[in-house]
C-alpha cells in the first residue's frame, strides 16, 4: 500500500516557476514508477511526466518538455515536479501517481497506475 500527498500548488503568473512535491508513505517507494498527471474540468487526466523506479529514466509530454523537470529523492520518499516558464494552459489539478512495474512501466497511461494522490491546484494567470 502506498499513500501519496501532493503539495506546492498555487496561483502564479505566466512565466513564473512552481515546484510540486509528492510525499509517499510505505517502505517500497523505490520499487514504484512515479508519474505526474493533470486534469481540467470535463477532461481526462493528461500525462505530464514520469520517472522510473530508481530514477534512471524520465519521460515527458511534448507540451512540457524543456520546461518541467521530474525527479525523486528515495531517502525522503518524495517525488518532485519543477515547473518553469509556466503558461495559462498549464492550469489544472496536478496529481502524482505510483505504478508497480513488475511487468514493465506504462508511464503515460493513467489506468496503469495503482495509487493516486488527492491532487493540488495550479493556476497560471496571464
pLDDT in tens, 54-87: 878 999 999 999 999 999 999 999 999 999 999 9
Q: Considering only CA atoms, which of 98, 89, 94 is closest in space to residue 126?
A: 89
Q: What is the largest CA-CA distance in the chain?
A: 43
Q: Which residues contact 12 (CB under 8 A, 6 or more apart)?
A: 18, 86, 122, 123, 124, 125
Q: What is the pLDDT confidence band of residue 1, given thresholds at 50, 70 and 90? A: confident
pLDDT at residue number 35? 98
pLDDT for res 63: 95
Q: What is the mean pLDDT of the chain?
A: 95
Tell me the pLDDT tens digit for each residue of 23-62.
999 878 888 999 999 999 999 999 999 999 987 899 999 9
Amino acid at each position: 500500500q502506498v499513500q501519496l500527498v501532493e503539495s506546492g500548488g498555487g496561483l502564479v503568473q505566466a512565466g513564473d516557476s512552481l515546484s510540486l512535491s509528492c510525499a509517499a508513505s510505505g517502505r517500497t517507494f523505490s520499487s514504484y514508477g512515479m508519474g505526474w498527471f493533470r486534469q481540467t474540468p470535463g477532461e481526462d487526466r493528461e500525462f505530464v511526466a514520469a520517472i522510473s523506479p530508481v530514477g534512471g529514466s524520465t519521460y515527458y509530454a511534448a507540451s512540457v518538455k524543456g520546461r518541467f523537470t521530474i525527479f525523486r529523492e528515495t531517502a525522503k520518499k518524495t517525488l518532485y515536479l519543477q515547473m518553469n516558464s509556466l503558461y495559462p494552459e498549464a492550469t489544472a489539478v496536478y496529481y502524482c501517481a505510483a505504478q508497480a512495474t513488475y511487468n514493465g512501466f506504462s508511464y503515460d497511461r493513467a489506468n496503469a497506475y495503482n495509487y493516486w494522490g488527492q491532487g493540488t491546484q495550479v493556476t497560471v494567470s496571464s
